[in-house]
Structure 1
């Protein structure tokens, strides 16, 4: 508030100016298409990354030979900034849903693989041997031993993956999109509308806060109930 009072409003708007900007976007109906576009891109890329990361994370944790083969590749791709893939994705898929979803996928899948892999490696050998002695089949071993034991790490993987995916989404929308929250921030900066920029930033933080409260914390509570049983 003090900073906003000392700095011109076109540089750092007052909170009530940002609220007025939000009201204008809501009343005009322009906000909802941008929100929907970002959410669909996020959950498309992040959902695919979650599925692939779960399978590969379990596999790399379970089989040492596969882990030794895959680990250098995972480390290589993790070291590349996700936004670096945006130009290549635009060349392959053009401006639209697929190009941004691909960037989101690449940004989130590799950190999730490593986190889930660590969960499998943290398992005690006695649990695995006991399951095998009871005649557990490989698929049952994954479904009833490896996956439940990896649940705490899976929750961490989802948090990390979503954060990486959300950052990549906003950055990719700034480069190659005609709508979305990232587009709102970029266009607000180009036309000098600081209120629009701050509105976009507030929406980014608000959606991340909703995911934490409505999804990740509920998964943790469910896991706690399961472990108690």
Structure 2
């Protein structure tokens, strides 16, 4: 006599929905913890929503978000324009790497925040100081990424280009750069996260606007911790959107041709 086991009913949650369910659970636990300890300074989720609404009502949210994105765009953009071509040249020419690598390795470990006094001395308190700090925080990671990306280009691509009589500039544009793009995108994604971290820290000291300034100002102006946490939440959400934007480049077909190598 055989018995057939009936599988129990299992609720299958779509993969795209699982992160949102986890977030909802964390918010509920957060609210429960605040209700059980109402004397704590940390506001609950509804308090944070109220803080965001307060910022919207006074027209500060858009102003601070635009200010932070403006500084990141300029600092990160300048770093991309300078670091990527320079890194590819250094990575391709061994003598250039031997000459410049010691200087790069000395400057690379210095935190961008250590440059704050010098940035204020050179540029004063304002956008230029923050842009300079973001540039420094982005330049060296992008430089090293470009150097490693060029060194990782398969020799068969380079030899094929040389066999077709490509000039050095054409070799860079038509062979090295396209082959290095997938690794460069990964470097851009990581470095943009660094730039977003640096702008928040720089705005706490070197400027009087932006999301970093919002957090410090809310703390100093009557311990408005609802605005402090609201600023943190907004920073996280914008960082998520920026990361998603860079990751979308990985799906561009013209940027994926080097993956076709067997």
TM-score (norm 2): 0.83
Q: How many residues of Structure 1 are paired with residues of Structure 2 in the alignment?
A: 228
Greater share of helix residues, 1 or 2? 1
After TM superposition, list the pairs within 5 Å mapping 1:109-128 onto structure 2.
Answer: 109-128=139-158
Q: How far does residue 81 in structure 1 lie from its aligned partner after superposition?
A: 1.0
Report whether the alignment pairs 1:66 with 2:108. Answer: no
Distance 1:97 1:21 in 2: 26
After the TM superposition, which of the residue ranges 217-226 and 82-91 deviates more from structure 2?
Answer: 217-226
Identify the match of residue 44 of structure 2 among 1, 6, 14: 14
Report whether the alignment pairs 1:54 with 2:80. Answer: no
After TM superposition, list the pairs within 5 Å mapping 1:78-89 onto structure 2.
Answer: 78-89=108-119
The SS at the match of 2:209 is coil
Distance 1:9 1:199 in 2: 19
- Work out whether residues 35 and 180 of structure 1, in 8 Å CA contact, stay in contact via their aligned partners in 2: yes
Distance 2:114 2:255 in 1: 41
- Work out whether residues 86 and 172 of structure 1, in 8 Å CA contact, stay in contact via their aligned partners in 2: yes
Distance 1:223 1:10 in 2: 51
After the TM superposition, which of the residue ranges 8-17 and 159-168 deviates more from structure 2?
Answer: 8-17
- Consecutive unaligned residues of structure 1, counting only runs of 5 or more, are none
TM-score (norm 1): 0.94
The equivalent residue for 2:11 is none
The SS at the match of 1:161 is helix
Spell out, residue by residue over 1:13-72, the C-alpha distance to the aligned partner (whole angstroms, 9 max, x if none): 010111011011112212111111111001000000011111111111110111112222
Distance 1:9 1:173 in 2: 30
The SS at the match of 1:175 is coil
Structure 1's consecutive aligned runs of 4 or more residues displaced over 4 angstroms after TM superposition are 223-226
- Consecutive unaligned residues of structure 2, counting only runs of 5 or more, are 1-29
Q: How far does residue 97 in structure 1 lie from its aligned partner after superposition?
A: 1.0
Report whether the alignment pairs 1:197 with 2:223. Answer: no
Q: How far does residue 168 in structure 1 lie from its aligned partner after superposition?
A: 0.8
The CA RMSD measured in Å over matched residues stands at 1.6
Residues 207 and 9 from structure 1, CA distance in 2 versus in 1: closer, same or farther, beyond 3 angstroms? farther
The equivalent residue for 1:108 is 138
Q: How far does residue 107 in structure 1 lie from its aligned partner after superposition?
A: 0.5
The SS at the match of 2:246 is helix
Residues 85 and 125 from structure 1, CA distance in 2 versus in 1: closer, same or farther, beyond 3 angstroms? same
The SS at the match of 1:51 is helix
Whose RCO is larger (CA < 8 A, sep 6+)? 1
- Work out whether residues 108 and 160 of structure 1, in 8 Å CA contact, stay in contact via their aligned partners in 2: no
Spell out, residue by residue over 1:142-175, the C-alpha distance to the aligned partner (whole angstroms, 9 max, x if none): 1111111111111111112111111111111000
- Work out whether residues 137 and 198 of structure 2, in 8 Å CA contact, stay in contact via their aligned partners in 1: yes
Q: How far does residue 203 in structure 1 lie from its aligned partner after superposition?
A: 1.1
- Work out whether residues 58 and 117 of structure 1, in 8 Å CA contact, stay in contact via their aligned partners in 2: yes
The equivalent residue for 1:133 is 163
Q: How far does residue 127 in structure 1 lie from its aligned partner after superposition?
A: 1.4
Distance 2:198 2:227 in 1: 20
Q: How far does residue 180 in structure 1 lie from its aligned partner after superposition?
A: 0.3
The equivalent residue for 1:178 is 208
Distance 2:114 2:38 in 1: 35
Distance 1:26 1:81 in 2: 34
